[in-house]
């Protein structure tokens, strides 16, 4: 199986990599996965203020009603905002707002508002992902100044307990995903309210999830990507 991946975005990763590559994880660190850390390495506990809850496994796959075309209904559709930030009260929330938010309140005081809902930690992955992450934790190594991975064979989350910025980036690159084909649009709005729609069609495939692909014949391949601009 494929053991090494090298990034095409070498400059970005080189800037994140440190001169000292991260060391292997200890068994005590690996044992944290699924205990005080989530199975993929996130902080399991909530925050002291209570605004971020503890992770308890994520939302169930049956939480939303099944809809046509493999869609599900919104499991939080009946929730109401806990409060609404407006131009009249945004100053009391200023420490949690970005400069962009503040500019919007000041430019559009009559119409711009931010309803704030309860925070949910709804992300969950298949048990097979959790098992693989714990089994392979500490095995992957950064190579080529952080631009590549060694001893990594198409799993997910190469560094569940990252020790450098480069490892965090590789976690993003190797995160759990499935083959997709999607159609979507991007809007290019103008200040006068008019906009232009760009219609796109994309396909993404991962070698380990493609029955007609021999991984051994395509080393150093993370994914296949095809995009068509239809309008």
Q: How far apart are CA 74 and CA 222, in angstroms?
A: 32
In sequence order, what are the beta bridge partners of 118? none
Can you give the pTM of this predicted structure? 0.77
Sequence-distant (≥ 6) Cβ neighbours of residue 204 within 8 angstroms: 177, 179, 180, 181, 223, 224, 225, 226
Asked if residue 66 belongs to a domain, the reply is: no
Instruction: Residue 103: give the domain boundaries.
Output: 80-116
- Give the number of domains in the chain: 3
Element (H, E) at 149: strand 148-150
Of 72, 90, 116, which closes a domain? 116
- Can you say how many angstroms the Cα of residue 210 is from the centroid of all Cα atoms in its chain? 22
Cβ atoms of residues 205 and 179 within 8 Å: yes
Asked if residue 71 belongs to a domain, the reply is: no
131 and 34 co-located in one domain: yes
- Can you say how many angstroms the Cα of residue 176 is from the centroid of all Cα atoms in its chain? 9
97 and 135 co-located in one domain: no
Q: How far apart are CA 138 and CA 26, in angstroms?
A: 8
Q: Can you give the pLDDT at residue 131?
A: 94
pLDDT, tens digit, 9 for 90 and up, residues 81-122: 999 999 999 999 999 999 999 999 999 999 999 999 999 999
Asked if residue 96 belongs to a domain, the reply is: yes
Asked if residue 145 belongs to a domain, the reply is: yes
Q: Can you give the pLDDT at residue 13?
A: 44
Residues of the chain with pLDDT under 70: 1-23
């Amino acid at each position: 199986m494929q053991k090494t991946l090298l990034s095409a975005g070498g400059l970005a990763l080189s800037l994140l990599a440190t001169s000292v590559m991260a060391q292997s994880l200890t068994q005590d660190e690996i044992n944290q996965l699924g205990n005080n850390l989530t199975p993929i390495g996130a902080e399991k506990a909530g925050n002291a203020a209570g605004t971020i809850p503890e992770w308890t496994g994520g939302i169930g796959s049956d939480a939303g009603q099944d809809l046509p075309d493999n869609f599900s209904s919104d499991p939080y559709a009946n929730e109401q905002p806990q409060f609404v930030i407006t131009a009249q009260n945004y100053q009391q929330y200023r420490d949690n707002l970005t400069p962009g938010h503040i500019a919007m309140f000041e430019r559009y005081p009559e119409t711009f508002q931010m309803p704030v809902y309860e925070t949910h930690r709804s992300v969950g992955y298949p048990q097979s992902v959790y098992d693989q992450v714990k089994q392979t934790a500490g095995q992957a190594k950064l190579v080529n100044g952080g631009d590549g991975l060694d001893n990594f064979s198409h799993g997910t989350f190469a560094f569940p307990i990252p020790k450098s910025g480069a490892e965090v980036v590789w976690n993003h690159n190797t995160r759990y995903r499935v083959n997709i084909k999607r159609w979507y649009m991007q809007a290019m709005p103008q200040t006068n309210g008019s906009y232009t729609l760009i219609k796109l069609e994309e396909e993404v495939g991962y070698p380990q999830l493609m029955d007609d692909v021999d991984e051994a014949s395509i080393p150093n391949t993370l994914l296949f990507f095809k995009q068509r601009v239809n309008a």
